[in-house]
Amino acid sequence: MKTIVIAVGITLTIMANLSLAANSGDTLDTVDPEADRLALQEHMQSRFPNVPIDDYINGIYALDSGSRAQWEEIEEFPPYEFDIEEGEMLFNTPFTNGKRYADCFDNGGIGIRQNYPFWDNNAEIVITLEKAINNCRKSNGEKPLPWGKGKLAKISAYMAFTSRGNVFNITIPNESALAAYLSGKQNFFSRRGQLNMNCASCHVSGTNILIRADRPSPGLGHVTHFPVFRSKWGALGTLHRRYYGCQKTVRSTPDPMQGKRLSNLEYYQTYMSNGLVVNGPGSRK
């Protein structure tokens, strides 16, 4: 009897592994973004059953009450407040040709953060909000701004602020867009660097598990609060600046900010946050 139980156990283990590989969607034919999104939500709910999905916009503060209490105190006088004001001023300052950022965006650039990134059918690339801001500058004869921090992060923060409460609604309109999504998904789960880690090592399986004194945030809702004012930076920074830092932390040569790989990664991650609301800019450790 005992041997039968062992044999059945082994068989079930093999079958479980096979079904994992079969259903995960690693090709254009099998990938199903909506199934991925629901699976990530289910994973988080099974690990943290008392945390409502909507609260994941608050990152690690949704899971760790101690950190949350400190963060709520910080948010009473948000460190990004002046950056939003400066971002607004920059956003409304006309270019040399007299045009403004508002002329480049739907709805004058107000309340549109939830639609970024999107798939550009003509350029065949993912357009992030920061890329759209710099494209706007270039098309009006201005020099592009550096990707990681400074003026670009402030303009992006202001645009996110005007979108607070709007629900993310990222679409995948065609097969090329689906390929970009799949590439982002693969990047998220591919181990790299001398530490041999993938994004999921910290932000899926390692969420809320202490790494020295820090608890990694959940991958669900990651993008909703960017750009963020990080205490470590002492300034506002973009999502791609954070990606860059993460890759360096695992001792992997970082991908260029706003390059194809990181833009696709943002596309995948933002799709995972569909249904959650914009709450950027945020403050983090």
Partner 1 sequence: MNKYRALTACLAFIAVNAAATSFEDVFNTNRALHGKGNHFTFEGNSYTTDHPEEIEAMAEATLDNAKALLISANKMHKKAKALGYGWTRTPAILKSAQKALNKGQYQRSMNLSAQAKYHARMGITQHNASAFDWIMFVPE
Give the whole-angstrom CA distance, residue 193 versus residue 278: 31
Q: Which is nearer to partner 1, 13 or 121 (CB)?
A: 13
Smallest separation, CB 59 to partner 1 (Å):
18
Give the residues lining the site for partner 1 (CB under 8 A): 1, 3-4, 6-8, 10-11, 19-21, 23-26, 36, 39-40, 42-43, 185-186, 189-194, 196, 198, 200-201, 204-205, 248, 251-253, 255, 261
In contact, 63 and 48? CB cutoff 8 Å: yes
| Active-site residue flag, 246 | yes
Q: Which is nearer to partner 1, 162 or 258 (CB)?
A: 258
Taking CA 124 as the corner, what is the angle to CA 107 and CA 218, rounded to the nearest 5 degrees? 70
Cis, peptide link before residue 227, omega less than 30° from 0: yes
Give the whole-angstrom CA distance, residue 115 versus residue 128: 9
Smallest separation, CB 225 to partner 1 (Å):
22
Q: Which is nearer to partner 1, 115 or 198 (CB)?
A: 198
Residue 46: partners with Cβ closer than 8 Å, 6 or more residues away: none
Which residue in 133, 124, 138, 157 sits closest to 260, CA to CA?
Answer: 124
Smallest separation, CB 40 to partner 1 (Å):
6
Catalytic annotation, pick one of 104, 199, 202, 246: 246
Q: Which is nearer to partner 1, 11 or 97 (CB)?
A: 11
For the annotated catalytic residues, the residue numbers are 246
